[in-house]
Structure 1
Amino acid sequence: MGEGLPPSVYAAFKRTAEAHPQNSFLCVPSRPDRAYAPDGLELSYGAVALIVDDLVTRYRSAGYGLGHRVGLLLEMRPEFLFHYLALNALGCGIVPINPDYRHDEMLYQMQHSEADLVVGVPHRVDDLNAMARDRSEKPLPVFDCTALPEVFPAPQIRAASGSIGHDTECTLLYTSGTTGRPKGCILTNFYALTAGACYRDLGGLLTVRPGEDRFYNPLPLFHMNHAMVTASCAMLTANCLILTERFSPTRWWQEVAQTRATIIHYLGIVPPLLLNQPVTTDEKQHRVRFGLGAGVEPQLHKTFEDRFGFPLVEVWGMTETGRIFSDCHEPREIDTRAFGRPQPGFEAMVAGADGKELPRGQEGELLVRHSAADPRRGFFSGYLKNDKATAEAWAGGWFHTGDVVRQSDSGMLYFVDRMKNIIRRSGENIAAAEIEACLQAHDAVAQVAVLAAPDELREEEVMACIVLMDGHAATADLADQLFAWCFDRLAYFKAPGWLLFVDSLPTTGTQKVQKTQIFKAGEDPRQRPGIYDFRARKKR
């Protein structure tokens, strides 16, 4: 993995464009209510190469090059790839901006990254200009991606000298931390290319066919899964990227069938919502060979595969790692949370609080590295302007993921939970994910988030926040049924002591629930009107 890779992402794209100019590179499904390409769009590698090279000329003539960064608020539009590749050709880093960001979030990101210019979608240009006016250290030109100037303004600082290669910064991706400001992960060309090569080479059920596959990935382009892993893999294999807006269960099968997708990507929220949709002809007319993702509930895994006719392959990865583990070889363990085994070039260890390896079968933190000789090879280069956090993450020569896992005697790794999602109740460590999986399997539950509520006697108590499926009313009787559902299936202490019905749960752009935003800072969740208290029923 990583051997024989071209020097940059642009070089990989250009090599494919020259060898396979007629192959489809970008596809946008039709959608009449969309502001751009309402009838859909399909662009070949050759056609995109002409657009990209025109942008290269324009950026180069303005003086952009090594050391510069450009913010991109381009949602899921093809323009994101146009500017990404053009800037990469010159050695510039891109700073993808979450389109859901508000003023202060964008301001922090553009200040921290010291971006030299921003390109955005038309309906956010005013917001970007307002943000740019508040950035005090230097001017920040903002441009509408549909109305670019003939000549870009020159950056204030000249480009650095040197050649573009594997170590050149490619992307600065900001993680959505649960405390403090997001950290900027510096990702190089080698990181991006290695991520794509890892996907390309997984094999088994995840065998990618050069020039034949079409990736339908609803995850945003400011996420490593799409921009780094999937896009790089597509370019390395002369395959097509399908660009759709964020996941929609009602549009999913129509778009998958229309775009002739052969590979889909998913998050845990996708399978239950698709299973809850009525049967349609589109769901039977797809060409999908496999789905790649993380977080499918074990209780739903086989049900999904039986209904829709293709395997969902669980993987694990992080922005910092680039590479992914995968449970892609039969026999898979779909009734568990298995996500793969360590491999050469992506080693793993399950460690205790002291950083030492635990015996097989015990739960501990997942630590990963490339190898003992070169632990950080292909990983992120560090957190921008935060050497302390980088050093802490790499304590002991392993990257500390913050995920609790266990490993079997066969080497298989099983996800347990994020360390911060462990509830400490009367000395018992309870994984929120286990309770969420149990509740998610109930027909009345559309979404669920389990978190720790304060408890004066037990330290913490289990609290479940539940969004109901349409047609189900938030009644005391249903709350009682859901408590009994968990109590009958889990150890008594894992059942929710508190249960609250909510209209919705806050999510990130990648549809991950933001548990820290369910309640306001300082709010006691136990005081919410309508909450149900089942603590007295939690007995052996």
Structure 2
Amino acid sequence: MTTKSVYSRFVETAERRGEAPFLHVLEETAGIYGISAGDISYAEMRRRVEDWRKRFADAGYGAGHRIGLLLQNRPVFIEIWLALNALGASVVPINPDLRLAELEYLAEHSEMILAIVLPERQAEMKAAVANAGLPVPVLTPDSPLSPALTPVLQDYVPDTATECALLYTSGTTGRPKGCILSNEYYLHSGDWYAQTGGHISLRRDCERMLTPLPVFHMNAMAVSVPAMITLGGCMIMLDRFHPRSWWESVRKSGATIVHYLGVMPSMLMGMEPSPDDINHNVRFGFGAGVDKKLHAVFEERYGFPLIEAWACTESGSGGVICAYEEPRKVGTSCFGRPCDNVAVRIIDDAGNDVDFGMPGELLVRRAGDNPRYGFFSGYLKNQQATDEIWQGGWLHTGDIVLQDQDGSLHFVDRKKNVIRRSGENIAAVEVESILNRHPEIKISAAVAAPDEVRGDEVAVFLILDGVKGDAAKAEEIVSWALDQMAYYKVPGWIAFTDELPLTSTQKILRGQLKDLMTATFKVSGFIDTRHLKGRRV
């Protein structure tokens, strides 16, 4: 296809598909969200999009504007996104688990001029923009639109280079970075999924893709939705992953494809076996991070392959690598071989290419004359970080992999100082910066603790200022933290200490911190606060 924007591609498909279903809302999801269940056709979605488009245009919104959206996986998110995309405006998807301090940063850094949020989050978002000193209106989807604060770019015609969305991803050295994602990024992703074939062959006008993954992340917003728009399929978006009702959702939705993260197969394998385990229409699952010990037994039990892939927000589908053809090497953390239009290098710490079978950092780029085709456009307000990740003309992923003689890539570990809990990337530095605001915490140090179910859990060492550290104080700190940051970033393990491994300039020695964590667990020196973690409304 030669379309210039996500909106124009949607319009092309909507004209062809008409009353065919574009979205399907399950009764379970409808009950949780308080919305109507059932199909939303392409024609109906187009009517909704055009209504929003007119309202935004009349209020002065368009090219050069960013609008924050805290709307979960509701259909209205897609309605507003496509309408703003039609006008050349960008959206800033907001993780609903973010709390006050995080929302303040996001609003200020993104320079959003409007936020549209759920009614129950309106007061908190208003407090966040007020704390940041911003005159940003905070509305609900049912509110009349406030006039735009700034004029649109004059005589601007949206094209493939136009910013479509600003997605935030956890950094390793501080605050989350805003990844600028263009129309090209989204359109190529839809094309990649539609054209790749093999085990992930998508059929035109008949696929039903179920995802529990959030549209404020790259997988659902930039892979699932563009794929279904490109091929005229139907999206089924859950509010989140519910292990106990998962297979009922799969069956009732008629899903032919499901998307997953590594924690999901682990949880599903813990369910009681049933003759209905193979009673579904799923042809394949697409995702990453399945436990290699469970990969083969999951496929045997449930009757469909889990197709492992690698990508990140920065690479998009421009640098995706996927085990879409044999040999998939199930049970070896293999995520496939790079196709002809993706170039890779595996390097050591000195920047030298490593031999086959040796671990090293994965570098990727697009093969050919345009090495950044389909990748992100850069980090907002951070050219230095953009240049660093593209050092030498290659995207430095921070992931440690090894490559077989036949080119198969196997995931080993993460070079980045990131805690990965249930698919969420958590920057240790961000957790520390928020905890250090607590009046009784002198210094904090966060580290990834192994967790059998969630991959990692957040463990922190705390040096307190003049107060006693005990179980009651740990619970008090966690309660405070739950109001300041997303619940999954909150410490699940807390250890109080009098000293930490620091450099001469008082920076945390991360390697020694991991050793300290291991030693502390051995002597039961951590206080378990995992039971206190949970989503807040």
Pairwise TM-score range, normalised by the shorter structure: 0.7 to 0.9
* Aligned position for 1:314: 308
* Aligned position for 2:470: none
* Aligned position for 1:83: 80
Whether the 8 Å CA contact 1:28–1:37 is kept in 2: the answer is no
* Aligned position for 1:197: 191
Q: Report percent identity of matched pairs.
A: 41
* Aligned position for 1:187: 181
User: Comparing 93-102 with 350-359, which one deviates more in the overlay?
Assistant: 350-359
Map 1:20-59 to 2 at 5 A.
20-31=17-28, 34-37=31-34, 40-59=37-56
* Deviating 4+ runs (over 4 angstroms): 462-469, 511-524, 526-530
Displacement of 1:521 after TM fit? 9.4
* Aligned position for 2:464: none
Whether the 8 Å CA contact 2:267–2:453 is kept in 1: the answer is no
Q: Could you tell me how far apart the structure 1 residues matched to 2:30 and 2:165 are? A: 31
Q: Could you tell me how far apart the structure 2 residues matched to 1:304 and 1:401 are? A: 29
Letter of the 2:47 counterpart = L
Whether the 8 Å CA contact 2:323–2:337 is kept in 1: the answer is yes
Letter of the 2:416 counterpart = K
Q: Could you tell me how far apart the structure 2 residues matched to 1:118 and 1:302 are? A: 45
Q: Could you tell me how far apart the structure 2 residues matched to 1:210 and 1:521 are? A: 57
Displacement of 1:168 after TM fit? 0.2
**CA 1:160 to 1:105, structure 2 compared with 1: closer, same or farther past 3 Å?**
farther
Letter of the 2:46 counterpart = A
Whether the 8 Å CA contact 2:204–2:233 is kept in 1: the answer is yes
* Aligned position for 1:10: 7
Displacement of 1:74 after TM fit? 0.4
Whether the 8 Å CA contact 1:218–1:265 is kept in 2: the answer is yes
Tell me which of the two structures has the higher relative contact order, counting C-alpha pairs closer than 8 angstroms and 6 or more residues apart: 2
2:65 equivalent to 1:72: no
SS in 2 for 1:251: helix
User: What's the TM-score once normalised by structure 2's chain length?
Assistant: 0.79
Q: Could you tell me how far apart the structure 2 residues matched to 1:514 and 1:416 are? A: 23
Displacement of 1:532 after TM fit? 8.6
Displacement of 1:34 after TM fit? 3.1
**CA 1:369 to 1:15, structure 2 compared with 1: closer, same or farther past 3 Å?**
same
* Aligned position for 2:267: 273
* Aligned position for 1:130: 127
Q: Could you tell me how far apart the structure 1 residues matched to 2:6 and 2:62 are? A: 15
Letter of the 1:214 counterpart = R
**CA 1:515 to 1:405, structure 2 compared with 1: closer, same or farther past 3 Å?**
farther
Post-superposition Cα deviations, 1:286-337, rounded to whole Å, max 9, x if no partner, equal 1100000111112111110111110101000000011121111123200211
Map 1:374-385 to 2 at 5 A.
374-385=370-381
Q: Which residue of the other structure, out of 347, 351, 370, is the alignment partner of 1:351?
A: 347
**CA 1:517 to 1:107, structure 2 compared with 1: closer, same or farther past 3 Å?**
farther
SS in 1 for 2:392: helix
Gaps of 5+ in 2: 429-446, 455-474, 501-515, 527-537
* Aligned position for 1:119: 116
**CA 1:321 to 1:520, structure 2 compared with 1: closer, same or farther past 3 Å?**
farther
Whether the 8 Å CA contact 1:65–1:160 is kept in 2: the answer is no
SS in 2 for 1:95: strand
User: Comparing 91-100 with 151-160, which one deviates more in the overlay?
Assistant: 151-160
SS in 1 for 2:243: coil
Post-superposition Cα deviations, 1:416-435, rounded to whole Å, max 9, x if no partner, equal 1111379xxxxxxxxx99xx
2:403 equivalent to 1:413: no
Please report the RMSD computed on the Cα atoms of aligned residues, expressed in angstroms.
3.2
Q: Could you tell me how far apart the structure 1 residues matched to 2:337 and 2:490 are? A: 29
Q: Which residue of the other structure, out of 142, 155, 164, is the alignment partner of 1:161?
A: 155
* Aligned position for 2:358: 362
2:262 equivalent to 1:262: no
Q: Could you tell me how far apart the structure 2 residues matched to 1:295 and 1:401 are? A: 16
Displacement of 1:254 after TM fit? 0.9
Whether the 8 Å CA contact 1:25–1:44 is kept in 2: the answer is yes
2:323 equivalent to 1:327: yes
Q: Could you tell me how far apart the structure 2 residues matched to 1:218 and 1:520 are? A: 34
**CA 1:83 to 1:39, structure 2 compared with 1: closer, same or farther past 3 Å?**
closer
Letter of the 2:407 counterpart = G
Post-superposition Cα deviations, 1:467-488, rounded to whole Å, max 9, x if no partner, equal 689xxxxxxxxxxxxxxxxxxx
2:200 equivalent to 1:206: yes
Gaps of 5+ in 1: 423-431, 437-448, 452-461, 470-502, 534-540
* Aligned position for 1:459: none
Q: Could you tell me how far apart the structure 2 residues matched to 1:59 and 1:35 are? A: 28
Q: Could you tell me how far apart the structure 1 residues matched to 2:370 and 2:7 are? A: 26
